[in-house]
Amino acid sequence: MKKQDEVQEGEIKKHIQAITQQMKQLQNDLDVLVPLFENLDDRQAERLANLLNTEGKMLIRSLSGLKY
């Protein structure tokens, strides 16, 4: 059973590393995107920000659902 747990933990770590890398890439993308918002009028910026905020909220919910 211990070997199975080790294999499972290894697979989980691979997924965590992939997700962590994607999160870093998202941060880089946001760093590029945020200054572009400054060139938009308030209505455009709000509409587009809402698109990101909706997805962000779903991600936060998923992360907060992790139990340990």
23-44: burial string, b at 16+ Cβ within 10 Å, e else:
eeeeeeeeeeeeeeeeeeeeee
Q: How far is CA 47 from the centre of its chain?
A: 20
Asked if residue 50 lies in contact with residue 37, where contact means CB atoms within 8 angstroms, the answer is no
pLDDT of residue 66: 83
Mean pLDDT, residues 48-66: 91
Domain coordinates of the chain in residue numbers?
2-64
pLDDT of residue 1: 60
Mean pLDDT, residues 52-59: 92
pLDDT of residue 45: 93
Kindly tell me if the per-residue pLDDT of 24 is higher than 90.
Answer: yes
